[in-house]
Amino acid sequence: MKLVTLNDQRLGRVEDDRIIPFDFPGGMLGLIQAGEAGLAQAQEAMGEPLSFAIEKLAAPLTSPSKIMAIGRNYTEHAQESKSAIPERPLLFAKFPTTIIGPGAEVTWNPALSDKIDFEAELAVIIGKTARRVAEAEALDYVFGYTCANDVTARDLQKGDGQWVRGKSLDTFCPLGPWLVTANEVPDPQDLPIRCLVNGQTMQDSHTGKMIFSVAYLISYLSQAFTLLPGDILLTGTPDGVGAYREPPVFLKHGDVMAVEIDGVGRLVNRCRTE
């Protein structure tokens, strides 16, 4: 099932070229927290159908307690950045104010940063409280998946000596266009993933190339802190980002980014300087 949040904050179930809208207390986060009962209500919703249009969609989820992200989780990406292959997951965080939806603009002040980069990522949405879970059971805690773009200010990332500011400028976490429920993605390590900028393929990889799998990451993180329903986990980006190309390719005003993950969706956002 594909679930969306509409601009009027109703939820919707996507069926072919239609959206079946419905109300749910607490929006998408409330539905996730409701577990199987929430999914059942979404499946049974019979609202007046709407024609599908990206312009009708907001970010599928906007109020997680945490956005966790993993750096250098693809061998080729670590190699292109001339970094050591991590022996354990490299964790950082993004603020919820980074979240925007499909079709929304990624914006930045060029006086603050002029080295803005794209990062296609598979995002995992936690479905129930997870604390010290075993890797073998970790995928049972997943509500669903969506496309993410871990937009990054490389000059701030490098200059600060840590990653929070460079990763957390407003609008720097596009998500969408929908959440695909976990039952429709039987193996999150079997998904082709791409990023295109202005129609040119910049990243072209496969989630099977992750160093640390989705299940491992959920288990690993849950040993340290409690994962809550609606928490978002960005699982790392493959090689091909702009910063490590020769010459480097950074985003500019008017550029259009598209993150594509087979079986999950296609997320498109335009860039705007302000």
- One digit per residue, the tens of pLDDT, for the chain of length 274 reads 999 999 999 999 999 999 999 999 999 999 999 999 999 999 999 989 999 999 999 999 999 999 999 999 999 999 999 999 999 999 999 999 999 999 999 999 999 999 999 999 999 999 999 999 999 999 999 999 999 999 999 999 999 999 999 999 999 999 999 999 999 999 999 999 999 999 999 999 999 999 999 999 999 999 999 999 999 999 999 999 999 999 999 999 999 999 999 999 999 999 999 9
pTM value?
Answer: 0.98
- pLDDT the model gives residue 146: 99
> In the CATH hierarchy, which fold is given to the domain comprising 59-273?
Fumarylacetoacetate hydrolase; domain 2 (3.90.850)
Exposure class string for 16-33: b at 16+ Cβ within 10 A, else e? eeebbbbebeebbbebbb
Q: Where in the chain is the domain with CATH 3.90.850.10?
A: 59-273
Q: Which two tokens stand for residue 187?
A: 């193996």
The H or E element containing residue 1 is none
Helices (H), the chain: 27-34, 36-44, 75-80, 154-160, 164-167, 214-224
The CA R_g of the chain, rounded to the nearest whole Å, is 18
- Looking at residue 75, what is its pLDDT? 95
State how far the alpha carbon of 97 is from the alpha carbons of 74, 108, 125, 176, in Å: 26, 13, 17, 15
As a whole number of angstroms, the distance between CA 183 and CA 34 comes to 17
Q: How far apart are the first and last CA of the chain?
A: 37
Helix axes 27-34, 36-44, angle to 10 degrees: 120
Quote the pLDDT of residue 136.
99
Predicted local confidence at residue 243, as pLDDT = 97
Query: In 3-state terms, what secondary structure has residue 77?
Result: helix
Sort 97 into a burial class: Cβ within 10 Å, 0-12 / 13-18 / 19+. middle
Contact 124, 215 (CB under 8 A): no
